[in-house]
Structure 1
Amino acid sequence: MSSLTKILSHDQLDTLELLLNGAFAPVDSYLNQADHLSVLNNKRLANGCVWPLPITLNLSPAEKLTAQITKRITLVDHEQRAVAELKLEELYRLPPELAAVNAASPDTWYAAGQLEALNKRLHLAFNRSRYTTDRLRNELADKGWKNVVAVQANPSLDAADMKQACEWLKQILEPQSQQGGLLIQLNANEQASDFHQQVRALRASVRCSVVRQIKMSLLPQIAQQLSPESLLLLQALIARNYGATGFVVGLQHSRSALRFVLQYRDELGIDLIPVKHRTARQLAQTPPLALAA
């Protein structure tokens, strides 16, 4: 059976990778119309689950006509390598007034359906640090980590964030306990000329005296078009999906963004840990610790 072949941009491949590796759970495919409208209007899926990102597969009118016939869309990278296939279930457009508010063309069609992985996306480096949610959760369980605090690196690591994460673990862990760990989530731009230097610098900068091991999870850059409030909410949800029980909210986030996310705290399934203001001298008083493989 023939299929519409759609070449994805680098940003679209980033989104697809996060869909396929479980980072966007409970979302596991491109949004249908009901979910899309609900996310735009309420930052929730149609079933009520908190979700801030409208994950969509856009089609031109010509692509829409082909997809109607083939009922399948093969998603490929710039080298025409098939990454996934969408079994088409729905084609729709946004209402004109909602498209205008969200800077979307009223002529854009959206495709929804069942998404199936075909081939793993290829990366040039640091593949051991690129986890699916299942793989990382299994590794954390094998280590006996019941309390895991996530810290964001974009791409550098803020010393205040690390300090707050270590203090949170210290408060909840028994002395000498092995049941906790630190998860560094690096939102990396592989297209940056200094990408490799950024990752190596991050490994060298990690500091925490409370735990013996630290995990680094390398993620594609996510949804930079989101508002600061929605981006912070999305980062917390992704950290939860990767097994974190606590999520550090750094000083780089505005107070309005923190207030926005706090209204969902009872639904997130993860503790939000705002960073306290500190002096440079206080931040410097943390011994080093190497990253775990």
Structure 2
Amino acid sequence: MTLPHHQPIRELMVSPDAGQQLRAGAERLLAWDLTAAQLAELELLTSGAFFPLRGFLTQADCDSVAEGMRLTSGALWPVPVVLDVAAEFADQVEPGEDIALRGPQGAVLAILSVTDKWRPEGGGPPAVSGESSQPGATFGAVRLGGPVKGLPAVGDARNGPNGWRAHFRTQDCKRVLACDPADEMAAGRLAVELGAVLLPLKIAPFHIGPRAALWQALVCRNHGATHLLLPADPATQALLRQYREEVGLVLVEPEDATGL
């Protein structure tokens, strides 16, 4: 019987053949050059690390997440994953259109099918950090949402969630302990005590606070974690305990690591 954390998770990548076709057609599309932070989010999104997301959040999903940490589908998701673009760029885009998302040297990495275009209330702070590569852009003024199709590159060998899950399956790892990177030393010793392997996942959160810790827990689960060492912060502990059933991880108390 295959354990749940050994099973593949849904990615947002198309097949290599479909990727070639979409990449050829992307030459006719309006293209947005991603910032470094947006590149990092896109990689997590297309690899399945942001499951159950299917793309950048729509306005309704973004509002629902902000208010109650849930998508409109009811699925738990604590922080917005949105694509902020320049107002000058957004003026050229209408819902129902596709745009190309480009990385370094203009490589097309994904296609975004735009369903939503909106301005955050009060202008809103940019959802990502960094400067826009679009000439003369007023960055972060408008948000675009919709499903994303990732385009695999030739010879693309990704070690995302499914790479880790395949590794745990091959090694027959029944327990996988995740932790905040700051707690890695204590977690390593605790993993030995638990008969678990340590998931060395060092993904910096795009936000701070308890919601960010809940986000990290979901990302770790998607990478194949079964256990999570609780951070020391009481507010973060309370939030993780509140949603432990939906997160799907066994929570390990910090005192269990004391003295190891």
* TM-score > 0.5 by shorter chain: yes
| 1:137 pairs with one of 165, 175, 183 | 165
What's 1:73 paired with?
Answer: 99
Backbone CA RMSD of aligned residues:
2.9
| 1:48 pairs with one of 74, 88, 99 | 74
Letter in 1 for 2:209: P
Q: Give 1:120 shift.
A: 4.6
What CA deviation, in whole Å up to 9, does each residue of 1:229-264 have, x standing for no partner? 01110111011111111011244xx11211122111
Letter in 2 for 1:114: P
* Contact residue 82 and residue 119 of structure 1 kept, 8 A: no
Output the CA distance in 1 between the equivalents of 2:189 and 2:81.
34
Output the CA distance in 2 between the equivalents of 1:61 and 1:10.
19
Q: Give 1:119 shift.
A: 4.0
* Contact residue 95 and residue 116 of structure 2 kept, 8 A: no
* Ranges in structure 1 where 5+ consecutive residues have no aligned partner: 171-179, 188-220, 284-293
What's 1:16 paired with?
Answer: 42
Name the larger-Rg structure. 1
What CA deviation, in whole Å up to 9, does each residue of 1:93-116 have, x standing for no partner? 3344xx55x6789x8322122211
Q: What percent identity do the matched residue pairs reach? A: 27
What's 2:254 paired with?
Answer: 275
Partner SS, residue 41 of structure 1: helix
Output the CA distance in 1 between the equivalents of 2:177 and 2:216.
13
Output the CA distance in 1 between the equivalents of 2:29 and 2:205.
28
Q: Give 1:137 shift.
A: 1.4
Letter in 1 for 2:200: I
Partner SS, residue 239 of structure 2: helix
| 1:222 pairs with one of 186, 205, 227 | 205
Q: Residues 141-160 of structure 1 correspond to what in structure 2 (within 5 A)?
A: 141-153=169-181, 158-160=184-186
Output the CA distance in 1 between the equivalents of 2:31 and 2:235.
42
Output the CA distance in 2 between the equivalents of 1:80 and 1:276.
49
Output the CA distance in 2 between the equivalents of 1:121 and 1:222.
29
Q: Give 1:69 shift.
A: 8.5
Q: Give 1:61 shift.
A: 2.6
Output the CA distance in 2 between the equivalents of 1:69 and 1:278.
51
Higher strand share: 1
Q: Give 1:146 shift.
A: 2.4
Q: Give 1:89 shift.
A: 2.2
Letter in 1 for 2:98: R
Output the CA distance in 2 between the equivalents of 1:42 and 1:148.
29
1:241 aligns with 2:222: yes
Quick one: higher RCO (CA 8 Å, sep 6+), 1 or 2? 2
Aligned length: 223
